Amino acid sequence: MTPIMTEIAAHRGGAALWPENSATAFQGAIALGVEQIEFDVQMTADHVPVIFHDTTLDRMTNGTGPLADRTLAQLKELEITGGGGQILTLEEGVDIMAPSGIVLRCEIKPGPGMIPYAGLTDATLAILSRHGLFARTVITSFHLPILAEVASKALPMRDVIWLVADPIARLLSPTDLAILAHAAGVGAIAPHWKVLAEGTRLSDLRAADLRASAFGVLEDAAIVWALGTALPVFTTDRPDAALRLRLRLRHNQKGGAA
């Protein structure tokens, strides 16, 4: 039997290699040959979905203050730190990724105070629909009601995954996590890999009928763990290292079977 290949998702396009969530990062991740590109979507003051992680502009641009207070025209005047160019609209990001055949791993962010942006989910799904990308898109969020909204639409998404913050993942039992996820119409979760690796948590989640993947897989040891536990996918800032280690593991498996 051929082992299931764990897919590699370049987190924010590969944040350890290029300016995160930038055209440069997405083009680089495509060239590397990863299976998925992870990116974040938020909403401008004039209701345009844009690709950006933080709720404030300070860390990753030459601007300051809340992203949600700026119009798209105002955001386009800024530069992404590290030579990443302009902040991309979701439409622009899709235009880069769609021709490659890569899986889009789209995290719908809540706004400041964890309050969802009005209309962001529908606007995001509308763009993906126009490009015919549902079958190639994984929708993720730390905000379970956002995912419940997506799941309620019964769209032919590749997957819908609940990103579980560490305090919640540690506070709730695998059974409780499964109850919450399934009630929202979600069958897959992704905690931080360190939480997932504690004790029997991974096997317990699988026993609770949850497909478990991981985020935050950065160091070589973490990547080897994720590959060795046959996760369906994990996100990493170092997709180049993940590809190298996966190739080495598969080579060793073939050698051992010879």
Q: What would the DSSP string read from start to end of 225-252?
A: HHHHTT-SEEEES-HHHHHHHHHHHHHH
Output the CA torsion sign for 178, 179, 181, 183. positive
CATH 3.40.50.920 applies to domain 7-56+90-257 = no
- Rounded CA-CA distance 77/139 in Å is 29
pTM of the model: 0.96
Q: Which positions are annotated as active-site residues?
A: 11, 53
φ/ψ of 57, rounded to 5, equals -90, -10
- Rounded CA-CA distance 49/244 in Å is 34
Q: Please state whether beta strands 88-89 and 49-51 pair in parallel, antiparallel, or not at all (unpaired).
A: antiparallel
Q: What is the CA radius of gyration of the chain?
A: 18
Which residue shows structure tokens 């590290």?
82
Residues sharing a CB contact under 8 Å with residue 190, sequence separation 6 or more, in sequence order: 140, 161, 162, 163, 164, 212, 213, 214, 215, 235
| Half-sphere exposure (Cβ direction) of 53: Cα atoms closer than 13 Å | 15
Residues sharing a CB contact under 8 Å with residue 180, sequence separation 6 or more, in sequence order: 144, 172
Residues sharing a CB contact under 8 Å with residue 167, sequence separation 6 or more, in sequence order: none
Angle separating helix axes 239-257 and 23-32, nearest 10 degrees: 10
| Predicted pLDDT at 2 | 42
Each residue's pLDDT tens digit in the chain (258 positions)?
345 689 999 999 999 999 999 999 999 999 999 999 999 999 999 999 999 999 999 999 999 999 999 999 999 999 999 999 999 999 999 999 999 999 999 999 999 999 999 999 999 999 999 999 999 999 999 999 999 999 999 999 999 999 999 999 999 999 999 999 999 999 999 999 999 999 999 999 999 999 999 999 999 999 999 999 999 999 999 999 999 999 999 888 777 654
| Predicted pLDDT at 251 | 85
Q: Write down the domain spans for the chain.
A: 7-56+90-257
- Rounded CA-CA distance 213/189 in Å is 6
